């Protein structure tokens, strides 16, 4: 309905006394909005009066306290409507406004009560008088003081008292931080100290003594400040006590929980001491005023100070000074009163913007000022209701922040400028009407002819003329209403439950009723012929009121649609009544915008995050549709705007008067301070920085797209509305605008409204309706990216300004394709060409910046270049726009590649302006001064000479010397050449002047090669022999050995020639060697020079030719693989012939003749060491061919075989391995007999043949004694897949078990493993394998039978004997089982059972079957002896003569007899 703006209005309190009185004290109750004012008689101090007023300035007639003495102190109870008053006589009065009772206490104090201080709970009152009596009182619930004090202390005269309160949480809310206030419930109930009787406080006497009253009632002296106390302040947050003396010394104390004080600092303040007022402001900052035109502020934490000068904010009268100040901590507002009758206000913004990056005065934003007419001597904030009490001599005024009401309709605006005054502006005709009413205005509504205002209890309607200064009262009447609207001759008033249709005189014509379930009426508006109203229950209804009877067009209940529907605060309707925008206040205080389509009943609750997406997720109770086709660039712009919009909080909403799609929302940053009043009326909207207008399009399908976000200028006080092509704003008072150094955009001084053309409509301010509609269509279609439709809409517009404006818009929307068309319609061929050429720039922002430059949008261009990080183009932009310092700075920081170029261009620019010193400096910075400065000053020889003299640059001085030389001034030229250290030029001039001695001196001392060369040439041309020697010397200094050698050869300086040749190049060495070769006596020198020049073959040839054998051995070391093969062979033969085998071998290896080296090793038996073998190994190349690899491997194998022949098996193994022949490597390693290395090599080789060789080798060892060897044998045969060999090994294992341990059970297991291996074996001769398997099975069967028979003997001896007897008949028993073991078992058995005859017979059979064996190997010796004794056969003559015992029957123990006895009996 209205776009609200807040201004402070003053209201004088009602005087309830007769006569002249002056104000002494005033104090607000922090909860109830009660103001207590203490007066005194102007002519006498013997008359005191305390009056009480409401927050609207009305005197409370039942509350007035009068005494014959003056009031000294007063203070409200922290919670209750109780006030304590201290009088000059020592009497203390308490008054309860609830019970209207007055209580007196006059029995204790006998002097003026200097201060009164309630504790936080209000259960105790502390009083102190000027005689030094400190008293603590117990307070009854109704406010009466207990007659007997709790504590009394007689100390020095007291003047000040502050409670020692505890601190709040560390993240205490900053001023205006409502979210944190809610989080901590920033109310009295959450005070941190639960002790209701807490009385700890600090007191200060008039003599500067600081006392501490603890909770036990003890009064302790803490400190003496050394002077009278002027101000006494305590910060609970910082636990900081500040004492300011009358001589303006500020002493800081840090306090602990026990009230102990430690001084932290002491400083001297500036200002007047007697009249100064000091208050805490934000954090640990103090504000002070002392009848000066400044407010001084001290930041105690950061030890900074600064001042706010009122002349910077208002047009103050001469000598106007600040007389009083007060600070409101919740909103962070500092109020100051002046002797000129002004009240100024600043708001703390340091926390929101960032204190560390701001200056002192930047932390305070000037809010407003109000004139009260007379000098101000006191200001006092009413804490909770944000009221400011202002004392002006004998009167008191209350300043309240009132929401200013505005309305825009049919290009007529109404703006409230005071509580009872309105200004109506007819923008079509320019007519301005100022109306003063008798209504305390709470709202307004305007049409083309009528203005309605209301106060909530009264409505007044005025008519006015569009073109004449005529106004009249159309009607006035009393009614309870919260909202009023006008349509034609009807007045619509909103009562609690209905909309009432009335005449202008108040006659009720009809009512539009809301039921009790639909809630109370909250918001109502009329737009054109449509009326929309919303209730507290979320019901919104719409009517068409163009007929006699209003026709309902739609109704919706948001509470039934939206979950947890927020509170409805405002409804607005578009121009054709098809859509209604609704603001809902969420729990966090933010407003949520909701769109209701009246025709389809679709509701969309949207957030910026959903603006560019189809509305399926946000459209409720209605059909959905998708956005029109959006181009990629338009979508990017939409996303950018939505991201920006997400950081904004909506304050109000406004539909355009002519376009049903255009909706504008006033917003502010979401993180800005939220000021919320105690009565819950929501947030007030002021003119704080950061407000912006979000221009939206709402389509017929309920899609929302963002057209633009327009920042609101700071010289606007608020937003009124939109009517294409203008945005309408309320304007601040001109005095505030002047202080902001901003010119008002209206020439009429009576105008309070400012108009700003909508971005897309610049140039169409005077356009007709058709042009405006075409531009609206263009704006919508370009926003969604439908450029074809956009161009169709504006193709008939011929305005150059419009096309230019659209081109500028393309910079914002990043539409270079559209910009090209716009430039074409503008006829700006140059700009079109530049934009077309910029397509080669890859960065979009940089290309846009090029367009912006062509359109004169220099600020935008600068920002775009910065965003694109094309600092080179930005530097060029700065240079082209004459911003050279910025250009140089950007190059210094970000584009040092072009820094010198920028300095050179700046030098050219300065030179063109005639700024020669600046040009010289720039050329020097660019490094081009050596050419540019002489060129620039060539026409001014004096300046040029002065510059050269001042310059220390060698190039400049050399240029000047050349200039002097060209002028024939050789002496001066010589001096400047010397300072430039150009010794060549010096020698050149000296030689030209035939001053050879000095030239020689210069060449010697300078060490300049060029100078030495020039002088040497001079001496060699026409000099004598002595000069030739000098010439050679200077050629050597110049390191030009060729000319020196030629001179030495020509003049037979052989002693110099050798040294020169050695210092010179190879070509000169060869030349000198040829010279020495021609002389038989200098052959050694020729050989040395050939050798040094790399001609080793030539040197060797000379050695052989002239038999220089001593030198020959030295030269051999320099032969390489690239040397002549014949020469190498010849040299090797020479060394061999002289028994220098090692040197010959090294020569062959060094020259990579490895084959010959190996032959030499074999023929001459030269031992190949590991180091020599490595040298003879060709390293592997990266791109080695197959032939090279083959030759390399052949050489390695030959080397390995040579090592094998010499017994170096390990080295041979290594070389075979390098050659890739691991089989031969293993064979070499096998010869070494190193078992550990053989096992290791087999494991890493992973070759079948190697595994088999390793297994075969290991079988040659005593593997039956080492389980690890057995494990390796099995592993290697398995890995080598040699199943036959593995089977043979298992067979061998079985035989060992039989032969060594007679363990036939294990032998069976081994034979079984052998059988498994043979079954897996695969080979060419499969028949042989099958035969082996058959044989093995037969053998295993026999072994198994015997093993079974042996094991059966304990259980069934007869069966065991029977099976053994049967085994003896097997023809192949000998191949499987030892026959002696079978006979042995039988013989033992028969001997055991006493059948000695059979036993002896079996012994005979065994002897016949195995005649060569010793019977004792199979039969126990005692058993043999027993058999012989039993049969009477002498032991020596029988078949079982002598031997050792090897077997016994299982379980049969036979006592052993002494071997000697056996031998005797045998004998």
Measured between alpha carbons, how far is residue 1209 from residues 1155, 1173, 1233, 1234 in Å? 20, 13, 9, 10
Q: Which two tokens stand for residue 790?
A: 């956009």
| pLDDT given for residue 1086 in this prediction | 66
Q: State the Cα angle at 983 between 979 and 986, rounded to 5°.
A: 85
Q: How far apart are CA 418 and CA 528, in angstroms?
A: 28
Instruction: State how far the Cα of 748 lies from the Cα of 738, in Å rounded to an integer.
Output: 15
Hey, what are 1337's tokens? 């099975």
Return the SS3 of 1224.
helix
* Pairing mode, strands 619-620 and 591-597: unpaired
Q: 1310, exposed or middle or buried, with CB in 10 Å at 0-12, 13-18, 19+? A: buried
- What ranges in 838-883 are assigned the alpha helix state H? 844-854, 858-868, 871-880
Can you read off the two tokens belonging to residue 248? 């303006």
Q: ∠ CA(886), CA(890), CA(893), 5° rounding? A: 140
Encode burial over 696-725: b for 16+ CB neighbours within 10 A, e otherwise: bbbbebbbbbbbbbbebbbbbbbbbbbbbb
Euclidean distance between CA atoms 958 and 985, whole angstroms = 9
What is the pLDDT at residue 512?
93
What is 1167-1211 written as a DSSP string? ---HHHHHHTSPPPPTT--HHHHHHHHHHHHHHHHHHHHTT-HHH
How big is the chain by its Cα radius of gyration, in Å?
Answer: 59
Listed in sequence order, the DSSP H helices in 15-80 are none
Packing angle, helices 1009-1022 and 996-1006, rounded to 10: 150
Residues 1233, 1251: Cα–Cα separation, whole Å: 16
Per-residue pLDDT at 1289 = 79
Do 1228 and 1204 contact (CB within 8 A), yes or no? yes
Contacts of 542 (CB under 8 A, 6+ apart): 530, 531, 532, 552, 553, 554, 555, 573, 577, 580, 598
> What angle separates helix 1041-1050 from helix 1009-1022, to the nearest 10 degrees?
20
Alpha-carbon distance 579 to 571, whole Å? 10
pLDDT given for residue 139 in this prediction: 92
Please, what is the angle between helix 829-837 and helix 816-826, to 10°?
Answer: 160
* CB within 8 Å of 122: residues ≥ 6 apart: 77, 78, 79, 80, 82, 139
Q: Which residues of 486-519 are buried (b: 16+ CB within 10 A; e: fewer)?
A: bbeebbbbbbeebbbbbebebeeeeebebeeebb
Q: Is the peptide bond before 725 cis (omega within 30 degrees of 0)?
A: yes
In angstroms, rounded to a whole number, what is the distance separating the alpha carbons of residues 1192 and 523?
Answer: 101
Mean pLDDT by groups of 10 residues along the chain of 1467 residues: 55 67 81 86 75 84 82 91 92 90 88 91 91 92 90 87 69 41 37 66 90 91 87 88 88 90 86 76 88 89 87 80 91 90 87 57 84 88 81 84 86 89 92 90 93 93 93 94 94 94 93 92 94 94 92 91 85 94 85 91 79 44 47 72 85 92 89 39 41 89 85 86 92 57 51 87 78 85 78 73 79 79 85 89 91 90 91 91 91 91 92 90 89 87 85 84 84 84 86 83 86 84 72 79 74 68 72 66 64 63 57 55 58 59 64 67 72 70 68 73 76 76 78 79 78 78 77 78 76 76 77 77 72 76 78 81 79 74 81 83 82 78 84 68 41 37 35
Alpha-carbon distances of 551 from 499, 523, 530, 1063, rounded to whole Å: 14, 19, 10, 117
For residue 185, the tally of other CB atoms under 10 A from its CB is: 9
Among the listed residues 884, 823, 873, the one whose alpha carbon sits nearest the alpha carbon of residue 845? 873
**Dmax (CA) of the chain:** 175
Beta-strand (E) ranges in 684-731?
Answer: 692-698, 704-711, 716-723, 726-731
In Å, what is the CA distance from 917 to each residue of 870, 884, 931, 951? Answer: 31, 16, 16, 13
Number of residues that this document lists for the chain: 1467
Q: Quick one: tokens of 694?
A: 């979000």
- Among candidates 639, 774, 615, which has minimal Cα distance to 700? 615
Provide the token pair at 1397: 């005859």
**What's the token pair of residue 570?**
């405002």
**What whole-number distance in Å separates Cα of residue 1157 and Cα of residue 1132?**
10
Residue 1214 CA: distances (Å) to CA of 683, 1169, 1186: 92, 13, 22
Q: Which residues lie below 8 Å from residue 1157, measured CB to CB, with a gap of 6+?
A: 1145, 1148, 1149, 1176
* Cα 179 to Cα 575, 694, 1169, distances in angstroms: 37, 24, 89
- The contacts of residue 544 (CB under 8 Å, 6+ apart) are 529, 530, 550, 551, 553, 577
Q: Which residue has the tokens 């007679």?
A: 1302
Query: How many other C-beta atoms lie within 10 A of the C-beta of residue 946?
Result: 12
Q: Give which of 105, 59, 54, 53 is closest to 84, Cα–Cα.
A: 105
Q: Which residues pair with 66 in a beta bridge?
A: 49
Q: Which two tokens stand for residue 340?
A: 């000129």
Q: Can you say whether the dihedral through the CA atoms of 975, 977, 981, 987 is positive or negative?
A: negative
Phi, psi values for residue 718, rounded to 5°? 175, 170
Closest CA to 545 of 493, 500, 603, 487: 487
Joined tokens for residue 840: 């080669």
- DSSP string across 913-934: HT-HHHHHHHHHHHT-HHHHHH
Strands 133-138 and 591-597: unpaired
Vertex 954 angle, CA 951 and 956, to 5°: 60
Q: At what angle do helices 1222-1232 and 1235-1245 cross, to 10 degrees?
A: 170
Name the region of 239 (left: φ>0; alpha: ψ -120 to 50; beta: rest).
Answer: left
């Amino acid at each position: 309905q209205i776009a609200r703006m807040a201004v402070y209005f003053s209201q004088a309190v009602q005087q309830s006394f007769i006569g002249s009185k002056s104000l002494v004290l005033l104090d607000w109750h922090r909860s109830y909005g009660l103001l207590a004012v203490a007066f005194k008689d102007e002519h006498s101090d013997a008359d005191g009066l305390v009056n009480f007023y409401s927050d609207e300035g009305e005197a409370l007639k039942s509350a007035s306290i009068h005494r014959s003495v003056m009031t000294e102190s007063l203070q409200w109870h922290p919670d209750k409507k109780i006030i304590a008053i201290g009088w000059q006589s020592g009497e203390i009065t308490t008054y309860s406004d609830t019970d209207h009772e007055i209580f007196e206490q006059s029995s204790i104090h006998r002097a003026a009560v200097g201060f009164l201080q309630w504790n936080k709970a209000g259960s105790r009152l502390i009083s102190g008088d000027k005689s030094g009596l400190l008293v603590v009182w117990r307070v009854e619930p109704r406010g009466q003081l207990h007659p007997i004090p709790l504590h009394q202390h007689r100390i020095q005269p007291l003047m000040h008292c502050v409670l020692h309160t505890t601190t709040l949480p560390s993240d205490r809310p900053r001023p205006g931080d409502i979210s944190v206030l809610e989080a901590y419930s920033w109310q009295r109930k959450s005070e941190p100290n639960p002790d209701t009787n807490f009385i700890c406080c600090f007191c200060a006497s008039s003599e500067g003594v600081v006392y501490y009253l603890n909770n036990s009632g003890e009064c302790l002296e803490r400190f003496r400040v050394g002077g009278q106390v002027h101000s006494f302040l305590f910060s609970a947050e910082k636990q900081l006590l500040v004492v300011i003396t009358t001589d303006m010394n500020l002493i800081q104390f840090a306090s602990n929980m026990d009230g102990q004080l430690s001084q932290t600092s002491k400083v001297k303040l500036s200002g007047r001491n007697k009249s100064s007022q000091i208050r805490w402001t934000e954090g640990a900052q103090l504000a002070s005023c002392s009848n000066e035109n400044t407010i001084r502020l001290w930041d105690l934490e950061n030890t900074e100070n600064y001042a706010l000068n009122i002349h910077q904010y208002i047009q103050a009268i001469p000598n106007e000074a600040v007389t009083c100040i007060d600070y409101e901590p919740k909103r962070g507002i500092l109020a100051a009163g002046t002797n000129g009758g002004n009240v100024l206000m600043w708001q703390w913004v340091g926390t929101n913007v960032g204190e560390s990056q701001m200056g002192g005065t930047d932390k305070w934003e000037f809010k407003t000022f109000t004139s009260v007419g007379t000098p101000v001597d006191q200001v006092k904030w009413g804490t909770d209701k944000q009221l400011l009490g202002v004392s002006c001599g004998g009167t008191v005024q209350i300043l309240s922040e009132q929401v200013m009401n505005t309305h825009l309709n049919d290009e007529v605006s109404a703006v409230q400028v005071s509580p009872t005054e309105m200004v109506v502006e007819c923008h079509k005709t320019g007519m301005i009407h100022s109306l003063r009413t008798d209504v305390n205005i709470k709202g307004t509504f305007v049409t083309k002819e009528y203005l309605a205002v209301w106060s909530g209890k009264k409505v007044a309607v005025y008519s006015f003329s569009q073109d004449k200064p005529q106004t009249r009262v159309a009607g006035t009447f009393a009614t309870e209403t919260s909202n009023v609207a006008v349509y034609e001759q009807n007045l619509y008033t909103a009562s609690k439950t209905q909309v009432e249709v009335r005449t202008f005189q108040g006659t009720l014509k009809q009512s539009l009723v809301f039921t009790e379930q639909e809630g109370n009426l909250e918001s109502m508006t009329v737009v054109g012929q449509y009326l929309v109203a919303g209730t507290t229950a979320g019901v919104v209804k719409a009517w068409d009121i163009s007929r006699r009877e209003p026709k309902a067009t739609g109704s919706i209940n948001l509470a039934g649609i939206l979950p947890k529907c927020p509170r409805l605060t405002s409804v607005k309707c578009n121009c054709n009544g098809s859509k209604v925008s609704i603001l809902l206040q969420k729990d966090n205080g933010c407003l949520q915008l909701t769109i209701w389509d009246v025709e389809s009943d679709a509701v969309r609750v949207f957030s910026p995050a959903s603006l560019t997406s189809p509305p399926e997720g946000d459209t409720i109770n209605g059909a959905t549709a998708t956005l029109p086709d959006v181009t990629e660039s338009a979508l990017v712009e939409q996303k950018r705007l939505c991201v920006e919009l997400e950081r904004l909080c909506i304050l109000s909403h406004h539909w355009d008067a002519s376009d049903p799609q255009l909706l504008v929302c006033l917003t502010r940053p979401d993180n800005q301070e939220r000021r919320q009043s105690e009565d819950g009326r929501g947030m007030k909207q002021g003119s704080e920085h950061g407000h912006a207008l979000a221009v939206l399009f709402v389509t017929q399908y309920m899609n929302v797209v963002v057209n633009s976000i327009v920042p609101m200028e700071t010289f606007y006080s608020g937003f009124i509305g939109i009517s294409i092509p203008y945005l309408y704003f309320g304007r601040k008072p001109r005095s505030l605008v002047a202080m902001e150094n901003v010119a008002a955009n209206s020439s009429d001084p009576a105008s309070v409204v400012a108009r700003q053309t909508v971005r897309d409509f610049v140039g169409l301010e005077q356009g007709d309706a058709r042009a405006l509609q075409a531009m609206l269509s263009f704006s919508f279609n370009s926003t969604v990216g439908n450029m074809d439709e956009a161009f169709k809409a504006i193709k008939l517009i011929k305005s150059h300004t419009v096309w230019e404006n659209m081109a500028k818009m393309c910079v914002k929307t990043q539409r270079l394709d559209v910009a090209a068309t716009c430039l074409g319609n503008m006829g700006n061929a140059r700009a079109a060409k530049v934009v077309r050429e910029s397509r080669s720039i890859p960065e979009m922002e940089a290309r846009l910046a090029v367009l912006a430059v062509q359109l004169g949008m220099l600020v935008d261009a600068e920002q775009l270049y910065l965003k694109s990080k094309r600092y080179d183009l930005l530097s060029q932009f700065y240079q082209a726009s004459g911003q050279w310092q910025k250009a140089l700075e950007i190059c210094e920081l970000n584009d040092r590649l072009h820094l010198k170029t920028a300095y050179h261009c700046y030098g050219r620019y300065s030179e063109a302006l005639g700024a020669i010193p600046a040009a010289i400096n720039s050329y020097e910075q660019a490094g081009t001064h050596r050419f540019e400065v002489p060129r620039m000053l060539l026409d001014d020889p004096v300046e040029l000479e002065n510059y050269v003299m001042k310059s220390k640059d060698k190039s400049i001085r050399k240029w000047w010397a050349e200039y002097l030389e060209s002028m024939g001034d050789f002496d001066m030229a010589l001096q400047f050449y010397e300072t430039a250290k150009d010794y060549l030029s010096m020698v050149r001039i000296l030689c030209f002047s035939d001053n050879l001695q000095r030239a020689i001196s210069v060449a010697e001392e300078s060490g300049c090669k060029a100078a030495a060369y020039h002088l040497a040439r001079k001496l060699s041309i026409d000099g004598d022999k002595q000069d030739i020697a000098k010439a050679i010397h200077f050629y050597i200094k110049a390191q030009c050995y060729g000319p020196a050698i030629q001179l030495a050869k020509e003049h037979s300086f052989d002693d110099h020639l050798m040294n020169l040749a050695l210092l010179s190049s190879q070509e000169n060495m060869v030349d000198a060697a040829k010279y020495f070769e021609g002389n038989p006596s200098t052959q050694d020198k020729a050989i040395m020079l050939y050798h040094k020049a790399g001609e080793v073959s030539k040197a060797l040839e000379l050695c052989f030719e002239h038999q220089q054998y001593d030198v020959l051995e030295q030269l051999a070391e320099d032969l390489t693989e690239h040397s002549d093969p014949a020469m190498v062979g010849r040299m090797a033969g020479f060394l061999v012939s002289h028994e220098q085998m090692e040197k010959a071998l090294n020569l062959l290896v060094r020259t990579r003749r490895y084959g010959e080296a190996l032959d030499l090793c074999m023929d001459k038996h030269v031992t190949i060491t590991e180091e020599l073998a490595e040298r003879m190994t060709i390293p592997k190349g990266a791109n080695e061919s197959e032939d090279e690899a083959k030759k390399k491997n052949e050489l390695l194998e030959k080397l390995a075989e040579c090592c094998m022949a010499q017994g170096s098996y390990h080295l041979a193994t290594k070389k075979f391995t390098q050659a890739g022949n691991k089989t031969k490597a293993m064979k070499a390693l096998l010869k070494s007999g190193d078992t550990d290395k053989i096992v290791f090599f087999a494991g890493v080789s992973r070759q079948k043949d190697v595994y088999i060789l390793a297994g075969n080798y290991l079988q040659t060892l005593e593997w039956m004694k080492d389980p690890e060897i057995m494990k390796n044998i099995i592993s290697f045969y398995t890995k080598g897949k040699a199943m036959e060999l593995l089977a043979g090994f298992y067979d061998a294992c079985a035989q060992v078990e039989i032969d060594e341990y007679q363990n036939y059970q294990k032998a069976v297991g081994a034979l079984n493993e052998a059988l498994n291996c043979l079954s897996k074996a695969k080979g060419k001769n499969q028949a042989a394998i099958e035969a082996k398997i058959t044989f093995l099975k037969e053998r295993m069967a026999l072994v198994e039978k015997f093993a079974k028979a042996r094991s059966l003997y304990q259980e069934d001896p007869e069966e065991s004997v029977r099976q053994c007897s049967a085994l003896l008949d097997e023809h192949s028993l000998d191949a499987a089982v030892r026959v002696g073991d079978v006979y042995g078992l039988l013989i033992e058995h028969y001997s055991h059972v006493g059948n000695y005859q059979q036993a002896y017979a079996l012994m005979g059979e065994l002897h016949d079957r195995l005649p060569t064996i010793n019977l004792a190997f199979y039969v126990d010796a005692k058993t043999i002896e027993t058999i012989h004794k039993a049969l009477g056969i002498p032991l020596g003559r029988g078949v079982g003569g002598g031997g050792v015992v090897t077997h016994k029957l299982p379980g049969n123990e036979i006592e052993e007899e002494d071997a000697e006895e056996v031998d005797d009996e045998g004998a």
